[in-house]
Amino acid sequence: MHVLVLGASGMLGRVIGDTLLDAGHEVTGVCRSGRVSPRLGDHGSVRRADLATATDAVLDDLFQGANAVVHCLGPDDREPLPAPAAATLERLLVGTTVRVAQAARRRGVRHLVVLGSYFSAFDRLHPQWRLSARHPYIRARVEQARRAEQAAPGLVTVLEIPFVFGASPGVEPALKVLFDRIRFGPVGLAIGGGGTAAVRHTDVASAVLAVVTGSVPPGRHPLAVDNITYRHLARIVLDESGRPSPILAVPRPIATAGVVGLAAAHRLRGRAMGLAPLHVARDILGRQLYLDPHTYGAPLGLVPGNVDEAIRESVRAAYPAATR
């Protein structure tokens, strides 16, 4: 099977490409830089393209002959975006995914795998939380899935991914932004009793492989192999990076004030947050955003298990000099 991996230079794109190659598939990696994993560079093929600006003709050329496409691209909720955030997310996240889905349908692709967000799953499972109504990023993730399915009925599988831990050589972990806030504050920070579902980067790759081979039906699939508290995450980050400081449980009003202040600093630089500053502490940091691994991992062939070592790998990759 010929599989096209869009965003093959990122941590997930690299491990997905390598996993597909190991399973015997023909893999083409697509990215702007051309910097893919050594294995994909040696045993697959590489195409350079910017999917955000590519024309339909370019997409049709890329997708020619592909049996499956894995879409790994899209802005992250942790980084500030060009303001207004909603417009940026519509262009870079929703619009690009829709055009990818349309091209997949035109070119007869059998499987389109979109790497989405577990925030969409919680918006669906708990509508009373009003997550998509409050947060532009979560609204964009919901729209990404809905409109991709409309553009390519029966082809689209959205993997709704929680925190991802692990390391790929040469790639800075996306969670380094979070690690920095924990590591360089006066104390480690843990907000209330919050926590998150988690997977390893190899788990995401395994789930993609299950979809591509037809083991999992199209649809929306949340992923989880473990659940961790933010306090536990902070403890590992501090210990692994050689800064075993105390961990402070920050009250919600103080946490909200801090996020609002950070958002104000971003605004001065023409940037905006994808998560609404007034609601982040309550909706995200203060909640136990947990998913049962047996319900949301096992059906995709994932084995529930502890992710602590993958967290340590992420920290070591984020601070190689500090963790030698």
| CATH number of the domain where residue 127 is located | 3.40.50.720
What number of helices (H) and strands (E) belong to the chain?
15, 15
| Residue 307 domain-assigned (yes or no) | no
| Residue 229 domain-assigned (yes or no) | no
Q: Name the residue range of residue 126's domain.
A: 2-161+200-222+291-301
At 36, the amino acid letter reads: V
Q: Report DSSP letters for 62-97, one per residue.
A: HHTT-SEEEE-----SSS-EESSHHHHHIIIIIIHH
So what's the pLDDT on residue 212? 96
Instruction: Label residue 58 exposed, middle or buried (CB < 10 Å: 0-12, 13-18, 19+).
Output: middle
Give how many domains the chain has, as a whole number.
1
So what's the pLDDT on residue 252? 81
So what's the pLDDT on residue 187? 42
So what's the pLDDT on residue 184? 73
Which residues in the chain come in under a pLDDT of 50? 186-188, 324
| Residue 105 domain-assigned (yes or no) | yes
| Residue 321 domain-assigned (yes or no) | no
Instruction: Label residue 67 exposed, middle or buried (CB < 10 Å: 0-12, 13-18, 19+).
Output: middle
| Residue 143 domain-assigned (yes or no) | yes
- List the structure tokens of 288: 């136990």
Residues, the chain: 324
| Residue 250 domain-assigned (yes or no) | no
**pTM of structure:** 0.95
| Residue 20 domain-assigned (yes or no) | yes
So what's the pLDDT on residue 241? 82
So what's the pLDDT on residue 322? 64
Ramachandran class of 267: left when φ > 0, alpha when ψ lies in -120 to 50, beta otherwise: alpha
| Residue 38 domain-assigned (yes or no) | yes
So what's the pLDDT on residue 242? 80
Number of Cβ atoms within 10 Å of the Cβ of 303: 10
Residues 144/93, Cβ–Cβ less than 8 Å: yes
- pLDDT tens-place string over residues 114-154: 999 999 999 999 999 999 999 999 999 999 999 999 999 99
Q: d(Cα 21, Cα 299) in Å, to the nearest integer? A: 23
With H, G, I as helix, E, B as strand and everything else as coil, classify residue 314. Answer: helix
Q: Report DSSP letters for 229-289, one per residue.
A: EHHHHHHHHHHHTT----EEEE-HHHHHHHHHHHHHHHHHTTEE-SS-TTTHIIIIITSEE
